[in-house]
Chains A and B, each alone.
Chain A
Amino acid sequence: MKRAFIVSILLLLVIFSVPSLSSAQKPIVLGAPLPTAFLYGWTAEKGLKLAVDEINAAGGVTVGREKRPFKVEVMDTRDLEPVVPVSDALLVLEKLILEKNADFIVGGPARSEAALAAMDLLSKYKKVSILTTGALSPAYHRRVEAEYDKFKYCFRISGEVGWLVAGEFVPKLVDIKAKLGLSRLFIMVQDVAHARGAGDLTGKLAKEKGWEVIGTEIYPTGTTDFSVGLLKARRENAQVILIVMDMPESSVLLKQWFDMKIPALPFGTIIAAAEQPGFWRATEGKGEFCMASVVNAGNAPSRATPWTMKFVEAYTKKYGLEPEGYGTSSSYMAPYVLKDAIERAGSLDSDAVITAIEKTDLMGVYGRIKVHPKSHQVIPSIDPNEGAVGTIFQWQAGKRVVVYPPKIAMGEIKLPPWMKK
């Protein structure tokens, strides 16, 4: 009886000592300021959590001589809402740093205006940040390059609009002109800074490549009727409609385009509504033929690297649907980039981690991940062995078929029947 009692006590001690052992492994807190009600927010959250689960299941991060798990703290910034509440996003960021004791910031803020404003806070608190979703403004990495000592804490491993336009959209337009003989471009953009900038730049570069830009329409956020603009495009014999919109109402545009049988191919360089796997069902197939960019490979299925489909399958298994759009694969890669850098740095010290991230050379989900040592922007490429590759796909029979860049393309562009001569 006495022996049984002692054994029981010992067993209890062992049981209760397990949590105290694990609590000794203080987690590395990743603060994620994200607009969680918007595509670019929840995709990032899901991507981050998937990566963190995988890393923790594999033993965590080696910091010096100890293994520590990652812990994600997500807070809603709401910065993709129409009024762009930058101050709210900054409050959230500060809360993550001061109240949640975030060791690193990953993910957002997602709206360029908020991300740019957040740079000063990151600098003030000396917090290393990896931007992975939403913000596409080139001003972000240009500021880092211009004031390196102040903004060296800021990295971005997702895309930026300068490369997207010059390296992906315009080359794709050149390809469309050569292969399909289309050359008349009509531009429809949302009235926000990044969209207007992307529309203007694409139009300018397309002209240099022999395209005729026959009109530009700028729509305020929340527009629900595009009929007059579409009729203008039809009247002017547009052959491609370039769309740059991150508002949900862009699906109205595509439905109207289909119903009105406008004889111009919709090329959604940024069109958040068309990125998601559920878009097909939501438009009852009216999104067929729409092209869309998801910025980084892996946000739609492709075989960019051996890791791409592994990621797509893991995401699909965990969440029940394919990666949903921009922000997913880059947010998934952020904890891996940090893990790699922390292990090489051997500490969580900001300066040591910055130096380590600058030396990152990791074959990830969307190609080789290396950052420019001065601007801290991921180095883009159209070859996954050289750098981070993007993805432009076209909706074909309910599937997102990658059509650019050529090295990872899984099909060719198809024209709607009412465009065929």
Chain B
Amino acid sequence: MDILIYGIINSVSLALMAIGFTLVYGISRLPNFAHGALYVITGFLVWSLIHLLKLNYVLSIVLALLIMGLLGAAIYRFVLIRVRGMATSEIIATYALGLAILEFLRWGGFKGMTYTLPVFIEGSVNIGGIPVDLQRIIVITIGVVVVAFMWLFTHFNKTGLALRGMAQDEHAAMMLGIDSDWMAVVAMGMGSMLAGIAAIALLPLGNIVVEAGYNVLVLSIAVCIVGGLGSWVGAILAAFMIGFLQIITVAYIQSHFHMVVAILAIIITLILKPSGFFGKQKELEERV
């Protein structure tokens, strides 16, 4: 029972971390290596709004998400647009941006273990005799809501449909009048907001540290590679596969190998099926 409960929690956490990364890649083919840094900066942003500007928690979250959306859009508009289409330059530019953000935070004094966000609701419940704190239940709820929202958005909203069109065939979408750069701006903005949502859901479970940026990036990449770069369905499936495997490893083998699971999954995927579960390069419609 504990494996089922904590397996689901771990999987949804991974899916939340990775969904922003996969959205940006799916739409604009940009591997956003600054994703982990955007996750961390959201945490420090909310913390600063609460503790320095004395805003309430909900307002701080809303403001932080808006700022993250604008930041993501600005990163594309002012930096990535210049290197779009040059895969190596995109990786170098986004990774450098991520490093710059994380090191800037460290330089700005955001170091130590005492930066935390409050949990949404205090307390815990017993599910089949297994204690689970309410914040983790909220993480699952947020995960489900985010996935449902993204599905509805890309199926019933004009901008969402345009994003899908971009993901399926960029040139065809452009022929229909969809502005490729504008869609990439929207995708980066939304991807940053999704990184922010993951941070807001997950950071109250622990503390906000700069180093988390690297961990989140590695896990997001693992999920996206296993699922197939740019595929939401694949990312969610991979998150559940890696999430459950990690928990089973801790329960039956040794917690020591917990992090190895994600790395091993990348290696096995690259050997056996380099495009991942749903990353068939010729079947672009599967990406959204």
Q: Which residues of A contact B (CB under 8 A)?
A: 37-39, 42, 81-82, 191, 217-220, 222-225, 227-229, 231-232, 248-249, 251-252, 255-256, 259-261, 272-273, 276, 278-279, 281-284
Given contacts A225-B10, A229-B250, A282-B207, contact A219 B112 (CB under 8 A): no
Give 27 pairs: A residue, B residue, CB < 8 Å, sorted on A.
A37-B210, A42-B111, A82-B211, A219-B256, A219-B258, A220-B255, A220-B258, A220-B259, A222-B211, A223-B255, A224-B202, A225-B9, A225-B13, A228-B2, A228-B3, A248-B112, A248-B209, A249-B209, A252-B206, A255-B205, A256-B205, A260-B131, A272-B113, A276-B112, A276-B113, A282-B113, A284-B116
B114 within 8 A of A: yes
B215 within 8 A of A: yes
Q: Which residues of A contact B206 (CB under 8 A)?
A: 224, 248-249, 251-252, 255
The answer for the CA separation of A249 and B149 in the assembled complex, in Å, is 31
Q: Which residues of A contact B135 (CB under 8 A)?
A: 259
Given contacts A218-B254, A251-B207, contact A227 B124 (CB under 8 A): no
Q: Which residues of B contact A (CB under 8 A)?
A: 2-3, 6, 9-10, 13, 106, 111-116, 118-119, 123-124, 130-131, 133, 135, 202, 205-207, 209-212, 214-215, 247, 250-251, 254-256, 258-260
**Inter-chain contact A276/B114, CB cutoff 8 Å:** yes
Residue in B closest to A229 when the chains form the complex, CB atoms? B255
The answer for the CA separation of A273 and B209 in the assembled complex, in Å, is 11
Residue in A closest to B116 when the chains form the complex, CB atoms? A282
The answer for the CA separation of A183 and B256 in the assembled complex, in Å, is 25
The contact of B133 among A220, A224, A256, A276, by CB within 8 Å, is A256
Given contacts A228-B247, A272-B113, A282-B113, contact A252 B215 (CB under 8 A): no
The answer for the CA separation of A232 and B111 in the assembled complex, in Å, is 32
Q: Which residues of B contact A276 (CB under 8 A)?
A: 112-114
A-B contact count (CB 8 A): 110
Q: Which residues of B contact A225 (CB under 8 A)?
A: 6, 9-10, 13
**Inter-chain contact A273/B207, CB cutoff 8 Å:** yes
Residue in A closest to B110 when the chains form the complex, CB atoms? A37
Closest beta carbon of chain A to B284's beta carbon, Å: 34
**Inter-chain contact B106/A227, CB cutoff 8 Å:** no
Residue in A closest to B10 when the chains form the complex, CB atoms? A225
Residue in A closest to B111 when the chains form the complex, CB atoms? A37
The answer for the CA separation of A218 and B259 in the assembled complex, in Å, is 11
Which of the listed residues A222, A252, A273, A283 has the most CB atoms from chain B within 10 Å of its own CB?
Answer: A222
Q: Which residues of B contact A222 (CB under 8 A)?
A: 211-212, 215, 259
The answer for the CA separation of A159 and B259 in the assembled complex, in Å, is 31
The answer for the CA separation of A249 and B211 in the assembled complex, in Å, is 10
Residue in B closest to A280 when the chains form the complex, CB atoms? B114
Given A81-B211, A256-B133, 11 more A-B residue pairs with CB atoms under 8 Å apart are A37-B106, A38-B111, A82-B214, A217-B256, A220-B260, A224-B212, A248-B112, A251-B206, A256-B205, A282-B116, A284-B118
Q: Which residues of A contact B124 (CB under 8 A)?
A: 259-261
The answer for the CA separation of A405 and B135 in the assembled complex, in Å, is 38
**Inter-chain contact B114/A191, CB cutoff 8 Å:** no
Q: Which residues of B contact A37 (CB under 8 A)?
A: 106, 111, 210
The answer for the CA separation of A191 and B256 in the assembled complex, in Å, is 7
Given contacts A222-B259, A252-B205, A261-B124, contact A282 B114 (CB under 8 A): yes
Residue in A closest to B251 when the chains form the complex, CB atoms? A228
**Inter-chain contact A228/B114, CB cutoff 8 Å:** no
